[in-house]
Structure formats: structure tokens, C-alpha cells
């Protein structure tokens, strides 16, 4: 089984945070799109005490980015960040946390930093992540998150050492580049060690499958458009919301469309993923109940990004 491992997508690592990774927020829409493709999603979370030894503020006369020895290990000094229980340590509100199955916290020992989601920097403490993945029969790990040249890199290396196949989703990661070239050096090292470098497009494809439950009136308009475009919304319909899985579409078609109109249909269509990235995916009930919210005034543009025909795949009669 494949698992998606999300590294430290926390407020302090995003723009405006205490240790912001440049453009770190840009990975969140990609990560949200990736999560439904995996049976297991695990997220790591930096969770430091205030007096952590990696904080420059806890070393008199030292500055951020200085190098020191901390309990025998070389340590970069950082701003105070991701203090346990703080807002900065929380996951971004934009992250679809309802799809995260397990959270692994790291960095709780004040005497050693923990870049990797698997072990601290001295391999003295084990977070339990490896055991969790093996217990879930995971053999392959795909990694996304922050930052490429620190926590992502060391997590990938430890995953390899623990016997997992590892892929790094490059467009779903961003780096610090404290020393210019650090990110590219990290990527090259990972590739040399056996990590596969992939993109979200490679994993998910160029198009995304959407479903829409519909009634007979809307279906008639689809027929008029030769099943190539959705009809404009009515004035009281400000949002066009297809759903992201067939089971949810069937539930609505059977329980609502068929009840109200005598018959309900489930349609399926493909849309270019590059177009959909800007639209929020909303969980409106259980995990299955996920919708894509597209403003009515942008429906015409959506229609130009539909690939192929809109298909009717199922019907329900009252």
C-alpha cells in the first residue's frame, strides 16, 4: 500500500509565520488534491518546548542561522517556532485535515532537534512513524511538505533506510535555501540515494474526474448542448458544485433528484486539473461528501476545460 506523508504544513512555516518557507502556502492546494488519492495520509507536526535548544533566543549572543554544537550534534539556530500548543504549531486552516489519518509530533526533546518525521537528528528517539506504516502494510511512501532541504529531505532518507520505497512530490514541496543551492543539492542527494522525483501531474494525470447528480430538466439542457457543456445557473444558483466521487453523486441522485423529479441521473466528466486547482474542495458531511465549488459566473470557463463528453452513468427512479 502507498501512503502520503505530509511534512510540517504548519502556520509558522507559511508566509507570515515565524520561520516562513518562501511560497510554502502554494503547496496546500496541491496537497489537498493529492490526499483523496491515498488510502492512508499521515502528517508530521513540529511540536517544540519553549526552551528548545535549536532556538537562537535560548543561546545568549547567538543569532538565527548560527551553527552550534547541541549535545554533540551540529545545529542550525532557528527563530522560536512551532511551540507546542501555539497557533504557529497548528496546521494551516487551508489544509484539508479531515483526510489526515494520523499525526506524528516531533521535536519535543529540548536537547536535540528533529527534522525527520521518523527519528530525531541523533537517531536517539523514534517517533513511531515507521512502526505505524508497517502496521498498516505500507510499502511505498510519497512525501510532500516543508521544507525540501531540511525536514522533507531527512524524512525521505529515513524512510529509505527503514525499507520503504520513496517518492518526493516536487511541486508539493518548498525549501528554505538558507545557503543558495541547498534545495537543488537536497534533491540531487535524494535522487542519488534512490528517491524518485515525481510531480502531482504524473501521479494524478492531466485531468480530474468529477460527478454531478442531476434531474431531468438539467439533463435535457445537456442533451441540447450535445453533452459538451453545462447550462448556465439560474439567478438563485450562485454556485455550480460537482462532487468528487461517484458514491456521493449516487446518494444525491437517488435521495433528492429521484424523489423530487421522479428520476435522478449521475453524470461523469473530465476537467483539466490545471483549471480546477484554484477552486476549493469542501467536505460538507462525512469524508465521502466532498464538493467542488465553482462560482456560477465562471461556469462558462469551466465548460471550455471539459475534456471529452459529459456521460450519464447511472439513473434512479422513484
Question: Is the confidence at residue 6, as pLDDT, over 80?
Answer: yes
- What pLDDT sits at residue 262? 96
Which CATH number characterizes residue 281's domain? 3.20.170
Same domain, 14 and 140: yes
280: pLDDT strictly greater than 80: no
Nearest to 306 by CA among 318, 315, 294, 316: 294
Residue 61 in this model has a pLDDT that exceeds 90: yes
Clarify whether residues 180 and 82 are in a common domain: yes
Coil/strand/helix, residue 68:
strand
Query: Is 33 in contact with 280 (CB distance < 8 Å)?
Result: no
My answer on whether 127 and 38 are in the same domain is yes
Contacts of 266 (CB under 8 A, 6+ apart): 211, 212, 213, 246, 249, 250, 253, 312, 313, 314, 315, 316
**Each residue of 66-93: pLDDT tens digit?**
999 999 999 999 999 999 999 999 999 9
How far is Cα 272 from Cα 190, in angstroms, rounded to an integer?
A: 31
Instruction: For residues 120 and 28, state if they share a domain.
Output: yes
Q: Is 283 exposed, middle or buried (0-12, 13-18, 19+ CB in 10 A)?
A: middle
Residues of the domain holding 305:
207-317
pLDDT of residue 98: 87
Predicted confidence at residue 29, as pLDDT, reads 85
Is the pTM higher than 0.85? The answer reads: no
Task: Using DSSP, state whether 13 is helix, strand or coil.
Answer: helix
Domain limit, last residue, from 176, 204, 232: 204
- In this predicted structure, the answer to whether residue 286 has a pLDDT above a threshold of 80 is no
Q: In this structure, what CATH number is given to the domain that contains residue 44?
A: 3.40.50.850
Q: What is the mean pLDDT of residues 275-294?
A: 84
Of 160, 184, 204, the one marking the end of a domain is: 204
- pLDDT band of residue 2 (cuts 50, 70, 90) is very high
Q: Are residues 178 and 257 in the same domain?
A: no
Instruction: Answer yes or no: do 137 and 7 share one domain.
Output: yes
What per-residue confidence (pLDDT) applies to 27? 95
pLDDT at residue 141, rounded to an integer: 98
pLDDT of residue 288: 79
Percentage of the chain surpassing pLDDT 70? 100
| Strand 294-295 relative to strand 239-240, pairing | antiparallel
Per residue in 112-121, pLDDT (tens digit) is 999 999 999 9
Q: Give the helix/strand (H/E) hosting 238.
A: none
Together in a domain, 262 and 194: no
Q: Are residues 228 and 241 in the same domain?
A: yes
pLDDT category of residue 317 using cuts at 50, 70 and 90: very high
pLDDT confidence band for 278 (50 / 70 / 90): confident
pLDDT mean across residues, the chain: 95
Please give the Cα distance from 37 to 55 (Å, whole number).
37
On whether both 47 and 145 belong to a single domain, the answer is yes
SS3 content of the chain, % helix, strand, coil (to 5): 30, 30, 40
For residue 123, how many other CB atoms are within 10 A of its CB?
Answer: 12
pLDDT at 36: 87
Alpha-helix runs per DSSP H in the chain: 28-34, 129-135, 153-161, 182-193, 200-204, 216-224, 246-252, 258-261, 273-276, 299-304
Domain count, the chain: 2
251 in the same domain as 180: no
Q: Is the pLDDT of residue 314 over 90?
A: yes
Q: Where are the alpha helices (DSSP H) in 194-257?
A: 200-204, 216-224, 246-252
Do 126 and 64 lie in one domain? The reply is yes
pLDDT at 282: 80
178 with 37, same domain: the answer is yes
pLDDT at 72: 94
Q: Mind listing the pLDDT tens digit for each residue in 152-199? A: 999 999 999 999 999 999 999 999 998 999 999 999 999 999 999 999
Q: Of the candidates 100, 115, 103, which has an alpha carbon nearest to the alpha carbon of residue 52?
A: 115
Residue 287 pLDDT > 80, yes or no?
no
Q: Which residues are catalytic?
A: 8, 106, 151
Which of 175, 204, 233 terminates a domain? The answer is 204
Cα pseudo-dihedral 92, 98, 102, 103, rounded to 10: 20
Amino acid at each position: 500500500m502507498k501512503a502520503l506523508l505530509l511534512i510540517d504544513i504548519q502556520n509558522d512555516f507559511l508566509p507570515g509565520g515565524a520561520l516562513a518557507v518562501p511560497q510554502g502556502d502554494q503547496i496546500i492546494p496541491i496537497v489537498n488534491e493529492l490526499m483523496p488519492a491515498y488510502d492512508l495520509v499521515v502528517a508530521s507536526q513540529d511540536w517544540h518546548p519553549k526552551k528548545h535548544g535549536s532556538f537562537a533566543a535560548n543561546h545568549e549572543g547567538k543569532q538565527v542561522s548560527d551553527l552550534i554544537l547541541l549535545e554533540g550534534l551540529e545545529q542550525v539556530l532557528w527563530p522560536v517556532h512551532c511551540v507546542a500548543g501555539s497557533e504557529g504549531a497548528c496546521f494551516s486552516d487551508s489544509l484539508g485535515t479531515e483526510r489526515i489519518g494520523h499525526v506524528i509530533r516531533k521535536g519535543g526533546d529540548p536537547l536535540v532537534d528533529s527534522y525527520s518525521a521518523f527519528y530525531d537528528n541523533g537517531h536517539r528517539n523514534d517517533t513511531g512513524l515507521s512502526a505505524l506504516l508497517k502496521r498498516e502494510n505500507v510499502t511505498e511512501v510519497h512525501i510532500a511538505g516543508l521544507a525540501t532541504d531540511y525536514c522533507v529531505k531527512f524524512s525521505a532518507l529515513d524512510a529509505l533506510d527503514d525499507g520503504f520505497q520513496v517518492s518526493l512530490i516536487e511541486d508539493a514541496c518548498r525549501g528554505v535555501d538558507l545557503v543558495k543551492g541547498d534545495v537543488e543539492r537536497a534533491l540531487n542527494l535524494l535522487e542519488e540515494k534512490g528517491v524518485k522525483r515525481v510531480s502531482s501531474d504524473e501521479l494524478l494525470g492531466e485531468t480530474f474526474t468529477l460527478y454531478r447528480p442531476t434531474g431531468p430538466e438539467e439533463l435535457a439542457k445537456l442533451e441540447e448542448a450535445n453533452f459538451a457543456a453545462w447550462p448556465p445557473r439560474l439567478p438563485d444558483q450562485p454556485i455550480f458544485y460537482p462532487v468528487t466521487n461517484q458514491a456521493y453523486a449516487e446518494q444525491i441522485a437517488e435521495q433528492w433528484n429521484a424523489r423530487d423529479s421522479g428520476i435522478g441521473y449521475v453524470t461523469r466528466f473530465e476537467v483539466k486539473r490545471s483549471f480546477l486547482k484554484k477552486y476549493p474542495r469542501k467536505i460538507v458531511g462525512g469524508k465521502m461528501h466532498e464538493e467542488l465549488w465553482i462560482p456560477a459566473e465562471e461556469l462558462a470557463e469551466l465548460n471550455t476545460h471539459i475534456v471529452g463528453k459529459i456521460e450519464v452513468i447511472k439513473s434512479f427512479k422513484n
